[in-house]
A and B are shown apart, each in its own frame.
Chain A
Amino acid sequence: MWQLVSDGFNYLASQSASSLLHLFWFVIIFEVPRYTLGFISVAALTIRTTRAAPQSVDVGRVSVVIAGHNEEDSIERCVLSLREQSRQPDEIIVVSDGSTDRMPEILRDLEARGLIQEAHCTQMRGGKSAGINLAVGRTTGEIVVNVDCDCTFDRHALRDILEPFADPRVGAVAGNIIVRNPRASLITACQAIEYMISISEGKQAADLTNQMSCVSGAFGAFRRVVLERVGGLDSGGGEDLDLTLKLRTAGWKALFAPDAICYTDVPVTLDALTRQRFRWERDAVRLRYRKHRDLMNPLSSRFNVVELLHELDFVIFNVVAAMVFPFYLIWLFVTYGDLAPMILMGAQVGMWGLDLLAFLMAAWMTPKANALALFPYLPAYSPFYGFLMRFIRLAAYLQEWVLKASYRDPYVPQKVHLARK
C-alpha cells in the first residue's frame, strides 16, 4: 500500500506542468476550484475575527417549531437543550406528525412541565412540511426557528443564529451543523470531515458571496413574515432548499451563522447514508431543474445573475462532475492501461495534500468540531467524498431524471405524492 502511495507521489513529482494538466484535467477542473473556496473563506474569517464579539440583538419574540414522526427517543433531549439556551426561546411548539410511538405522551408531559408551550398531535402522518406549517400557524414570535428532533444545541446557538436578523433585509439564517457521532463508524467519521469542510466551510464561502442556497431544516431561523409571504413550506422533500430558493427569489437575504452550532446524528451505516443522500440529491434535482427551473431561464422574470451563480455551482461541481467522472476513469484506463492505477494514486496524493490544507482551515474556522480527533480519518475522506459520494450522486441524478423517484420517496406520505403529481 505504502509502495503504491510512494509510487504515486513519485509519479506526480516527475510530471511536467503540461503533462499534469493532460493527465489530471478532471481534478483540476472539478476538484481544485472547490478548494479555492476554502481559501476565500479563510480570508473572510480574518475579516470576521476583527468584528466585535457576538452579542444579543433585540429581534422580538422567538418561536421554536419542531415537527417529528415517532421521535420518542430524541424529542426530550432536544427540548431540554433548547431550554439551556442563553437566549431562551419565547415559545416552543412541537407537532407530533402522526406518531405511533410514545411521542404524544412525552409531549403532554413536556407541556405539563412548562418546557414547551404547545403540542399538537395529528392522527395521520402528513409529512414534515405539513407539520412545520401547522406549528408555524400557531407561532406568535417575529422569528421562527425550525429545528430537527435529533438536534441539540450549544448554549449560545440561539443567540448567535438571531444576530444576523439585526439587518432587516435578512430573511433566513442557517445554523452550523456538527456531527455528534463521528466515532460511531468510519462512515460517520468521514461525514464529520465532510460537514466540516464542505458544509461549514462551504457555507461560509457561500455566505461571503451571497450564495447561501440552503438553510438547513436541522437548524434554521426565519422571519415569520417571510414564511407567511412565501406560504411556508411546500409539499415534497428537500423543503429546506425549496424554502431558501423561494425566499431568495422573493428578495430576502439568507445568511450563515458559523457560531450558531447544532449537533446532529448522521447515518451510521453505508446503507442508511446512501438512502439519505439519494433523497437529498433527488430532491435537489427535482427542485432545481423542475420546480425552480425558471431560475436558469434568462427569459424568466425570476432570473437573476446572483441566483445563476449557485445554480451553475451546482451544475458544474455536482452534476457535471458526477457525470464526467466515469468517462474520465474509462479514458484513463483506455489510454494508459496498466499505468492508470498509478496515475489515479498520483491524483489521490495530490488530493490528500489539498485535503490537509482544507482540513486545517476548516478546523481553524470551526474549533468546536474537534478536528484533532478526526485527523486520523482524513486519508479516507477523499476516497469517500470523491469516489463514493460522486457515484451515489450520479445514481441519484439518473434515478430522478429517468424515474422521478423523488415522487415516491417514503419520507413524504404517499397521499401527498399522489396529490402533487
Chain B
Amino acid sequence: MTAAIAQNLEVKPQAVTGRKVLVAEDSPITQDLLRLLLNQRGHQIDTATDGLEALEALRKNQYDVALLDFHLPSMDGAQIAASIKSEANGRRLPRLVAITADIEGLLASSSGENFDYIIPKPLHIDEVGKIVEEQAEIGDRQPETGDAAPVPRPVEPRLARARSETSFFEGFGYQFLSWPEDVGTTRLSARGIQATLGDPRFDALLIKEPVSKDDFATLWRRKALYALPVIDLTGTLGRLADLDGSKLSAHDTGELDRLLREFRDQRARLNRDLLLSDNLGEQLLGRVFISNRPLSAAYDAGSHGLVAYNTTLAGSTVAHEAEALCEEGLLQREFFDRFHVCARCDSARLHVREECSKCRSSDLVEEPYLHHFKCAFQGPESEFRRGNDLICPKCRRELSHFGFDYDRPGTMLVCRACGHAASEPAVGFVCLDCGAHADSESCATRDVYSYHLTEQGTGFAEYGHSFLGHARHVLRFTELPIELVVALNAVAKKFNEDKTPFTLVNIFYQNEREIVSEHGARQFAQARDLFVENLRASLGGSDMVVKGQSYDFVLLRGIEPDQVREEFDVLKQTGERALRLDLGVKFQAFGPEDFS
C-alpha cells in the first residue's frame, strides 16, 4: 500500500481529485490568489479572514486540507490548530498546513508541532497546489495505515513515527526518519512523504539496517530526502554516512548536535529550487552545499570503480553528475588519482601482474646469467650449476672468483609457459569483474577527482535557478512572488488595452554573501528591509515594491524601461538612505515586450 502510494505520487504528481480546502488568510490579495489557483486545479475552496472564523469553519465542515496563515486576526494559526486538535476526539481532521514567513519561529514554539506541514512565505505558485494535493493524499491513507497516523494526543505531540525497533538516538528530541521504516527501497511512509516535500522539521535519516549504494538511489529519486544528514547505526556505511552512529554513546551527543545544527543551518540557506529538485545534479550540488564539505573521493575496494565519495551515491554516478556541474562552473575539480580501467566492463578492479610479453602468462621465473670472461660464454646460471660448483658449459673451467673470472651482468625472465625470455617483464591487467585482459600499453585510464563548490555553485545553491537566470539576464516567472504576478497580469492587461507602459525592476543584492558571512544573515535582512522600505516610501501610490525570496521587485506603472534605466542611480541613492552596509544593489529593468 505504501509503495503503491509512493509510486502514485511519483508517476502522477499532479493527480488531481477535487479536494475540499479551507484557506485562512487575512490578506485579500493572497486569498484571491489562492482561491484562483486552487479552483483552477479543481479544488473546492472555503475562505476565512480571521482565526475565529477559521476555527468555526473547521468545526462545521469536513476539509481535506486547511491552509492556515500563522498570523491571523483574533487567533493565530497555531492556536487554531491546537484548538481543533484538542476538540477532535477521534474525528478525522484535515491536514493542517501553516503558511508563514517565520519558519524558525514557528518551529521554535511548541505550537509548530500541531501542523502537518509548513509552507514558507513568500508563496511559490507551483508549490502550493502540489502541497495541498500531496497533503490530502497523506490524509487519505491515514485511517487505513494507522502506523503513520498523526494522532493528536499529548502523548504523541510530535510527528508520528513508525513504531519499530528504536534506538537511543530517538530519545534525543530530534525528528528522525528511519531506514527502512520510513524510507526504504520500495517503501515511503507518510512521514517520509512529508519529508520529501521539504518539511524543515526533519533532522536526519537514521540507517538501521545495512543498505547498498544502489538501494540508496531511491533516496535521491525522492525529493528533499538527500538534504538530510545520514546517520549510520549499522556501522557498515563508512564514509558514505555523515555520522557513524554505531560508535556514539548516549552521553556523547556533541558531535550529533553539531552535525544536525550545521545541516539545518545550511538547509535553511539552500534554495528551494534545489531542495525540491528532482534533478540529480542539482541535488548533488545541494548536498555539497548542505554538508558544507567537498565531494571527496576515497579508495573503496568494494565498488566497481574503486572510488567512493562521502555521499550515498555510487562513485560513478557522483563523478558523472559532478563532471556536468564542472562544465557549468558550479563545481571545481581537484585531482585524486588515475585508475586503469577494463575496456570491456569499465571496472577498475584489475589484477596487476608481471607477465610474458608473448603469451601473457604470469608464470615467469627469474634466471640470472653469468659471463665467463675467459671464453666469453654468457648464459643462464642453471647451465653453469654443477652442485655447488659453477662450471663453464663451454670451456669446462670452474668459475672461482666473482668479478675476476666471471660476473652476473643481468637477469632474464623466462616464461615457463612459452619459453620466451626478456630482460624485463611486461605488465598486464586482468579484470576481476569480467576476466578481460589488457596490457599496460593498451589499458585505458580514468582520472578521478574530488569536487569543491565554486562561488558560482554557492550562488546557485542559495538563489536557485534565478541565480543562473540572473547571470543570463532572464527573468523567471516562477520566481516571482504571487502578488507580483497578479499585479503584472493587471498591468499587462492594461498595456494590451491602451498601451500604457510599465516597468518591472529586479533588485539584486550583489554583496549579500559577503555581508552574511561578515555581519550575519540578520544584519543583511535588516539592511535589505530598510532598502525596500526606503523605496516604498519614496515611490508613488500606483507603484509597487514587492519582496521576493532572493530578489526584490519594483513595479512601476506608466513608464518605459529605458526611462527607468536612466533613473537607476536615483533609485539606488533613494534606497540606500541611512544604510550603513553596502548591499551592492544592481537593477534590471523589464518592459512589456520582455513578458510577451
Contact flags B438-468 to A (C-beta < 8 A → 1, else 0): 0001000000000000000000000000000
Does B395 reach chain A (CB closer than 8 Å)? Answer: yes
Residues of A within 8 Å of B424, CB to CB, are 108, 121
Q: Which residues of A contact B403 (CB under 8 A)?
A: 415
A115 within 8 A of B: no
Least CB distance, A165 to chain B, in whole angstroms: 24
B87 at the A interface (CB under 8 A): no
Enumerate chain B residues within 8 angstroms of A233, measured Cβ to Cβ: 376
From 133 to 162 in chain A, residues with beta carbon under 8 angstroms from any chain B beta carbon are 133-134, 137-138
List, in ascending order, chain A residues with CB within 8 A of B404's CB.
415, 418-419
On chain B, the residues within 8 Å of A138 by CB distance are 421
Closest to A125 in B: B409
CB <8 Å contact, B378 and A119: no
Query: Is the CB–CB distance between B409 and A124 below 8 Å?
Result: yes
Indicate with 1 or 0, residue by residue over A83-110, a CB within 8 angstroms of chain B CB atoms.
0000000000000001000001000100
In whole angstroms, what is the CA distance A158 to B61 when docked?
A: 107
A373 CB, min distance to chain B CBs, angstroms = 40
Most chain A CB inside 10 Å of its own CB: which residue of B376, B377, B421: B376
- A126-B409, A231-B394 are known contacts. Are A118 and B422 too (CB-CB below 8 A)? yes
Residue B407 interfacial (CB < 8 Å): yes
Complex Cα–Cα for A118 and B422 (A) = 6
- Contact call B377/A231, Cβ cutoff below 8 A: yes
Does chain A have a CB within 8 A of B324?
A: no
Contacts of A131 in B (CB 8 A): 378
Which residues of chain B come closer than 8 Å to A108, judged between CB atoms?
424
Of B371, B379, B410, the most chain A CB neighbours within 10 A belong to B371
Q: Report Cα–Cα, A236/B376, bound state, in Å.
A: 8
Do A121 and B373 have beta carbons less than 8 Å apart?
Answer: no
Report B93 CB to chain A, min CB distance, Å: 78
Interface check A3, CB cutoff 8 A = no
Q: Are A112 and B357 in contact (CB under 8 A)?
A: yes
Contact B409 A98 (CB under 8 A): yes
A22 CB–B CB distance under 8 Å: no
- A134 partner residues in chain B, CB cutoff 8 A: 369, 371, 378-379
Q: Give B352-385 as 1s and 0s: 1 = Cβ < 8 Å from A's Cβ atoms.
A: 0000010000000000010101111111100000
Known A122-B409, A232-B394, A416-B373; contact A111-B378, beta-carbon cutoff 8 A: no
A184 to chain B, nearest CB (A): 32
CA distance A231 to B394 in the complex (A): 6
Q: Are B423 and A231 in contact (CB under 8 A)?
A: no
Complex Cα distance A137/B371, Å? 12
Determine the distance from Cα of A118 to Cα of B441 in the docked complex, in whole angstroms.
Answer: 18
A180 within 8 Å of B by Cβ? no
Contact A124 B407, beta carbon cutoff 8 Å: yes
Q: Is the CB of B410 within 8 A of A111?
A: no
Cβ of B405 < 8 Å from any Cβ of A? yes
Question: In the complex the two chains form, is B410's CB within 8 Å of A123's CB?
Answer: yes
Does B33 reach chain A (CB closer than 8 Å)? no
Is A258 in the interface zone, CB < 8 Å from B? no
What residues of B have a CB within 8 angstroms of the CB of A182 in the complex? none
Are A129 and B376 touching (Cβ within 8 A)?
Answer: yes
Q: B256 near A: Cβ within 8 Å?
A: no
Query: How far, in Å, is B147 (CB) from chain A's closest CB?
Result: 66
Name which residue of chain B comes closest to A107, CB basis. B423
Closest Cβ of chain B to A411, distance in Å, is: 13
Measured in the bound complex, the distance between the Cα atoms of B424 and A124 in whole Å is 16
Contacts of B373 in A (CB 8 A): 126, 235, 415-416, 418-420
Cα distance A10–B167 in the bound complex, in angstroms: 127
Contacts A130-B377, A137-B379, A233-B376 known; A119 to B422 CB distance under 8 Å? yes
Q: Is B420 an interface residue (CB 8 A)?
A: yes
**A127 within 8 Å of B by Cβ?**
yes
Q: How many residues of A contact B (CB 8 A)?
A: 35
Closest CB-CB distance, B407 to chain A, in whole Å? 6
User: Is A126 a contact partner of B371 (Cβ separation < 8 A)?
Assistant: yes
A120, CB-defined interface residue at 8 Å? yes
Chain B 237-261 interface residues, beta-carbon cutoff 8 Å to A:
none
Q: Does A265 contact B (CB under 8 A)?
A: no
Q: Is the CB of A419 within 8 A of B423?
A: no
B412 at the interface (CB under 8 A from A): yes
Q: Find out whether the CB atom of B374 lies under 8 angstroms from the CB atom of A133.
A: no
Return A96 CB to nearest CB of chain B, in Å.
Answer: 8
A346 to chain B, nearest CB (A): 49
Chain A residues whose CB sits within 8 angstroms of the CB of B379 once the complex forms: 133-134, 137
Alpha-carbon separation in the docked complex, A365 to B343 (Å): 58
Q: A111-B422, A112-B441 are in contact. Are A415 and B407 (CB under 8 A)?
A: yes
**A31 interface residue per 8 A CB criterion:** no
Q: How far is the CB of A54 from chain B (nearest CB, A)?
A: 33
B375 and A126 form a contact (CB under 8 A): no
CB distance from A236 to the nearest CB of B (A): 8
With A123-B410, A133-B379 as contacts: A231 and B420 at CB distance below 8 Å: no
Q: Which residues of A contact B374 (CB under 8 A)?
A: 235, 416, 419-420
Q: Quick one: which of A221-249 are within 8 Å of B by CB?
A: 231-236, 239
> B376 near A118 (CB under 8 angstroms)?
no
CB under 8 Å from chain A, chain B span 311-360:
357
For the complex, give the distance between the alpha carbons of A104 and B424 in Å. Answer: 10
Quick check: B378 and A130 within 8 Å, CB to CB? yes
Q: Which of B493-525 contact A (CB under 8 A)?
A: none
Q: Please state if B395 and A231 are interface contacts (CB–CB under 8 Å).
A: yes
12 further interface pairs, Cβ-Cβ under 8 Å (given A118-B420, A120-B412, A133-B378):
A121-B410, A122-B371, A126-B409, A129-B376, A130-B371, A130-B409, A133-B379, A134-B378, A235-B373, A415-B373, A418-B404, A419-B405
A-B contact pairs, 30 of them (CB 8 A): A111-B422, A119-B423, A120-B410, A121-B424, A122-B369, A122-B378, A122-B410, A123-B410, A125-B409, A126-B373, A126-B407, A127-B376, A130-B409, A133-B376, A133-B378, A134-B379, A231-B377, A232-B394, A233-B376, A234-B375, A234-B376, A235-B373, A235-B375, A235-B376, A236-B376, A416-B376, A418-B373, A419-B373, A419-B374, A419-B405
Q: Contact residues of B with A, CB < 8 Å?
A: 357, 369, 371, 373-380, 394-395, 403-405, 407, 409-410, 412, 420-424, 441
What are the 5 closest A-B residue pairs judged by CB atoms, nearest first? A419-B373, A122-B409, A129-B376, A235-B376, A134-B378
